[in-house]
Amino acid sequence: MAIEESRMFTGIIETVGKVIDIKGSRTGGFTLKIRPEKPLKEIKIGDSISISGVCLTVVDCNSKEFYVFVSKETFERTHFGNIKIGDIVNLETALHLGSSLSGHLVQGHIDDTGIIRALKRVGEAVEMVIEVRSPMIKYVSPKGSIAVEGVSLTVNAVSENSFSVMLIPYTLENTNLRYVKVGNLVNIEVDIIAKYVESLVKGAEERPKGEITEELLFEHGFIEGE
């Protein structure tokens, strides 16, 4: 999974930032220099931060900018392989004990990228349709949660290989989703609960269903031997 550390987020974006420098290569990894539009909560070297949904580690920082390293695995799993100077990214610092959970639990583990297939104005909001690879659609359900570019959103509808979400004015004004166009790639993280349920069900199906014997009951302490 495309992460640098295991931390949790809420999908509630604190501010956006601009990529102002990129150093390194697409083969060995590179460092992004990011300037937040608004001051973030105090961050320091070693902190985890969500960059458009990707959990990365702050490797250097000052009062105006911070730096994160993007590994080869990360940019192969996300759209960061195409990132360039001037791009706008969503920023969220990690949850701390006692923090409120306004969105849903987001790990910063990008499952895959999706392609924006439609943007339709609906009153003051915008309906966005995103196409994903078929293996991922099984985790997406109507009225369920999903993170797009790190933004916690509610799924409106699901089809064979796509889903739709509604972008309200606040989301459009305060995230990088106001800049997206049809054909753009976006980072997708499905709801963690859906993945855990699948893992539990799969484990139950693969668990051998042996016969209950006297030896088995004795082995687990349900009966005593003579």
User: Rounded to an integer, what distance in angstroms lies between the CA atom of residue 43 and that of residue 139?
Assistant: 33
Domains 15-93 and 112-206 share a fold: yes
- Beta-strand pair 88-93/112-122: unpaired
What does CATH list as the number for 15-93? Answer: 2.40.30.20
The whole-number mean pLDDT for each consecutive block of 10 residues of the chain, a chain of 226 residues, reads 59 96 89 95 90 96 95 92 96 74 79 96 97 90 94 95 97 97 97 70 56 58 57
Burial of residue 222, with CB atoms counted within 10 A of its CB: 0-12 exposed, 13-18 middle, 19 or more buried: exposed
**pLDDT for position 28:** 85
**127 and 166 in contact (C-beta within 8 Å)?**
yes
**pLDDT for position 208:** 57
Q: Where are the domains of the chain?
A: 15-93, 112-206
For residue 64, give the DSSP letter.
Answer: S
**pLDDT for position 7:** 75
**pLDDT for position 135:** 85
Query: Residue 84: which of 17, 28, 32 has the closest Cα?
Result: 32
The Cα-based distances of 200 to 6, 180, 193, 195, 203 in angstroms read: 21, 36, 11, 9, 5
**pLDDT for position 213:** 58
Fold (topology level) of 112-206:
Elongation Factor Tu (Ef-tu); domain 3 (2.40.30)
For residue 2, give the DSSP letter.
Answer: B
